[in-house]
Structure 1
């Protein structure tokens, strides 16, 4: 009888300790690495769609969200997440080797943007409209720039590309191309076509007073040497490599709240595509 009482007491203590640990975890804020001004993803005012998703995650974990902001995307993993200043980063490429990444919470792609009134036949990078356009807006260092080279239009657009930011030496500095400005190039009629990352452009396409058309670029593009140029990418959340517990919690949040996450993304106007290994549904 005495042994049974000790066992019951030990079990109760163990349960109480587990509850106390869980409550302590919930009382800690969820610190999210977020851009200070990288709309439409996030900003200090919390107006980005990644801000909305971070708040959804915090609510699901019953933890208040606190943002740790960064200004230069080249170093934010090293300078915020790796240093323990924040716990989770939104909007990271699936499988990023610097971190542990969750299952993807969405997959999207690069898109062509044009004016509805122009009725351009834009299906892929072989479309005649791309050979005929006088101005095509792309962001340097992205797959569309690679494909502009592949179709022989890169040199034609070099001077125009510099106009979009004002020429600066790229040496040791981050040069930002404002997606909103590139979409305005189309709505104003200054350029005929833009090839941009869908999630970055969707909000501005939706808000344009000039009706615009958005066309998802197929994920079957190749360079002149035959190497594939990806157009569709999966996006995950990230934690430090030594935090598998939070990773598991985030994966559960994504799984349990997939409909709510998709609703935020669709409300933003982001074109979504299925994961390549997703099972077919009948």
Structure 2
């Protein structure tokens, strides 16, 4: 079982095998009765082309379910951007209209080559919270999610909107108690997805492997769920919007 993965991208994957996608890959290989091999490459521009496209591997354990560069399995989890905040807050915002989000220093991740904001950044801008928003570019000595959680630990931020799997992992390892809270997107951004389904990706012509993996997910979903829970990954039901 040849897997493409980033060698230093926790909580997803790491060369020492400590990511949750590493554990899921081991479960797949064991179920298929195959040895597990990796093609390691940082997950940057051209990742699929330089790994799977170059014939170095057959499986990417985590891709968006509608990812166009691979043939994708059924989703095995759905997550969302969530608000990470200190447990000392008496209550969590129920919506982006909460006035505290215009008063707090709120961190958001900046993605892509043009450092575009993530969906919560758009929602905060719509609510008039632009002046207090702090952007964290994805590139850096540490993942943006880790830098945001460290800022929460120091008190440099009051809250942060972070992609779910990263939020759960880094909040779980924070030096101060933090909690995660799902804030539904405003109605004005109903076409902007906040929730994403995650699947496994294979070569676009490899329908046999895709079907075998679909069967694996159906049979071993409870074990996959336990792995995700170990890493604090917040999950939403299939009909989440």
- From the two aligned structures, give the one with the greater helix fraction: 1
User: Conserved in 2, the CA contact under 8 Å of 1:120 and 1:129?
Assistant: no
Which portions of structure 1, spanning 4 or more consecutive aligned residues, are displaced by more than 4 angstroms?
A: none
Unmatched tracts of structure 1, length 5 or more = 1-29, 166-173, 278-282
Unmatched tracts of structure 2, length 5 or more = 111-115
User: Conserved in 2, the CA contact under 8 Å of 1:114 and 1:120?
Assistant: no
Match of 1:205 in 2: 171
How far did 1:39 drift? 1.2
Larger Rg: 1
How far did 1:155 drift? 4.6
- In 2, Cα distance between the equivalents of 1:52 and 1:205? 20
1:61 is aligned to 2:32: yes
User: Conserved in 1, the CA contact under 8 Å of 2:103 and 2:129?
Assistant: no
1:147-190 Cα offsets, whole Å, 9 max, x none, are 22222223543xx43xx56xxxxxxxx73443112112112211
User: Conserved in 2, the CA contact under 8 Å of 1:221 and 1:229?
Assistant: no
1:185 is aligned to 2:148: no
1:199-245 Cα offsets, whole Å, 9 max, x none, are 11211111223111110122x4345xx55221111000000111111
Question: For this pair of structures, how many residues does the alignment match?
Answer: 232
- In 1, Cα distance between the equivalents of 2:50 and 2:3? 13
User: Conserved in 1, the CA contact under 8 Å of 2:153 and 2:176?
Assistant: yes
- In 2, Cα distance between the equivalents of 1:46 and 1:192? 33
1:139 is aligned to 2:114: no
Matched residue of 2:94: which SS? Answer: coil
- In 1, Cα distance between the equivalents of 2:43 and 2:212? 28
Within the candidate set 75, 78, 81, 1:104 is matched to: 75
TM-score (norm 2): 0.90
Match of 1:24 in 2: none
User: Conserved in 1, the CA contact under 8 Å of 2:5 and 2:43?
Assistant: no
TM-score (norm 1): 0.77
1:83 is aligned to 2:54: yes
Within the candidate set 103, 108, 129, 1:153 is matched to: 129
Give 1:191-270 correspondences, 5 Å limit: 191-218=157-184, 220-223=185-188, 228-270=191-233
Q: RMSD of aligned C-alpha atoms?
A: 1.8
How far did 1:146 drift? 1.8
1:273 is aligned to 2:226: no
User: Conserved in 1, the CA contact under 8 Å of 2:103 and 2:132?
Assistant: no
